[in-house]
Chain A
Amino acid sequence: MKDLNISKLEAIFQQKIDDDVKIEPNDWMPDAYRKSLIRQISQHAHSEVVGMLPEGNWITRAPNLRRKAVLLAKVQDEAGHGLYLYSAAETLGADREKTIDDLHSGKAKYSSIFNYPTLTWADMGAIGWLVDGAAIMNQVPLCRCSYGPYARAMIRVCKEESFHQRQGFEVINKLAEGTIEQKEMAQDALNRFWWPALMMFGPSDDDSSHTEQSMRWKIKRNTNDELRQMFVDVTVPQAESIGLKVPDPHLKWNEEKECYDFGPIDWDEFWQVVGGNGPCNKERVDARRKAKEDGKWVVEAAMAFANKRNAKKTA
Chain B
Amino acid sequence: MSESKGWPLWEVFVRSKQGLNHKHVGSLRASDATMAIKNARDVYTRRAEGISIWVVPSNNITASDPSEEDSLFEPSQTKVYRHPTFYDVPDGISHM
Q: Which A residues lie at the B interface, using CB under 8 A? A: 1, 24, 26-28, 73, 76-77, 80, 83-84, 87, 90, 93-98, 152-153, 156, 160, 299, 302-303, 305-306, 309-310
List A contacts of B5 (CB < 8 A).
Answer: 97
Instruction: Determine the distance from Cα of A264 to Cα of B28 in the docked complex, in whole angstroms.
Output: 43
Taking a contact as CB atoms under 8 Å apart, the answer to whether B67 and A87 are in contact is no
List B contacts of A76 (CB < 8 A).
Answer: 42, 46
List B contacts of A153 (CB < 8 A).
Answer: 26
> What is the distance, in angstroms, from A298's C-beta to the closest C-beta of chain B?
10
Chain A residue nearest in CB terms to B58: A90
Taking a contact as CB atoms under 8 Å apart, the answer to whether B28 and A95 are in contact is no
Q: Is the interface of A mostly helix, strand, loop or mixed?
A: helix
Q: A90-B9, A302-B35 are in contact. Are A96 and B46 (CB under 8 A)?
A: no
Taking a contact as CB atoms under 8 Å apart, the answer to whether B6 and A96 are in contact is yes
Cβ contact of A305, chosen from B3, B31, B43, B46, cutoff 8 A: B31
Q: A302-B31, A302-B35, A303-B6 are in contact. Are A77 and B67 (CB under 8 A)?
A: no
Chain B interface extent, by class: 20 to 34
7 closest cross-chain pairs (CB), A and B: A302-B31, A306-B32, A1-B67, A306-B31, A97-B4, A95-B2, A87-B27
> What is the distance, in angstroms, from B89's C-beta to the closest C-beta of chain A?
35
Instruction: Determine the distance from Cα of A76 to Cα of B47 in the docked complex, in whole angstroms.
Output: 12
Q: Which B residues lie at the A interface, using CB under 8 A? A: 1-7, 9, 26-29, 31-32, 35, 42-43, 46-47, 63, 65-67
Cβ contact of B27, chosen from A90, A93, A310, cutoff 8 A: A90
Taking a contact as CB atoms under 8 Å apart, the answer to whether B32 and A309 are in contact is yes
Taking a contact as CB atoms under 8 Å apart, the answer to whether B27 and A26 are in contact is no
6 A/B residue pairs, CB under 8 Å, sorted by A:
A27-B66, A80-B42, A93-B1, A98-B2, A299-B31, A302-B31
Instruction: Determine the distance from Cα of A302 to Cα of B32 in the docked complex, in whole angstroms.
Output: 8
List B contacts of A73 (CB < 8 A).
Answer: 46
Instruction: Determine the distance from Cα of A235 to Cα of B46 in the docked complex, in whole angstroms.
Output: 29
Instruction: Determine the distance from Cα of A24 to Cα of B26 in the docked complex, in whole angstroms.
Output: 13
Taking a contact as CB atoms under 8 Å apart, the answer to whether A87 and B7 are in contact is no
Taking a contact as CB atoms under 8 Å apart, the answer to whether A303 and B43 are in contact is no
Taking a contact as CB atoms under 8 Å apart, the answer to whether B6 and A83 are in contact is no
Taking a contact as CB atoms under 8 Å apart, the answer to whether B7 and A299 are in contact is yes
Q: A87-B26, A87-B27, A303-B7 are in contact. Are A77 and B66 (CB under 8 A)?
A: no
Instruction: Determine the distance from Cα of A153 to Cα of B28 in the docked complex, in whole angstroms.
Output: 13
List B contacts of A87 (CB < 8 A).
Answer: 26-28
Taking a contact as CB atoms under 8 Å apart, the answer to whether B43 and A80 are in contact is yes
Instruction: Determine the distance from Cα of A83 to Cα of B28 in the docked complex, in whole angstroms.
Output: 7
> What is the distance, in angstroms, from B53's C-beta to the closest C-beta of chain A?
15
Chain A residue nearest in CB terms to B68: A1
